Amino acid sequence: MHDAIRLETSGVPTAVLVTTVFLHEAKVQREALGMNDIEPVVVTHPLSTLSSEQLDERAAEALEQVVRAWSR
């Protein structure tokens, strides 16, 4: 979240990727850092134990959200 805020304040569109388990923490951090406009890209948890095919599915799940984050 810190890196995304630094980039965003420099004019670089970013997308913060979190899994469903970490969404609450991402929102708390975003608010504490004063960047409520950053909307996390949320994918289903977990990621670390998935096959390549399953990771491709998670990427597809995130794609529309990433495009929206980069376009705002």
Q: Which residues of the chain have pLDDT under 50?
A: none
At 72 the pLDDT is 83
Tokens at residue 14, please? Answer: 């970013």
Among 8, 71, 67, CA closest to 36: 8
Domain boundaries, the chain: 2-71
pTM of the model: 0.87
Supply the pLDDT for residue 22. Answer: 97
| Distance set, CA 70 to CA 1, 17, 18, 50, 51 (Å) | 15, 12, 16, 26, 27
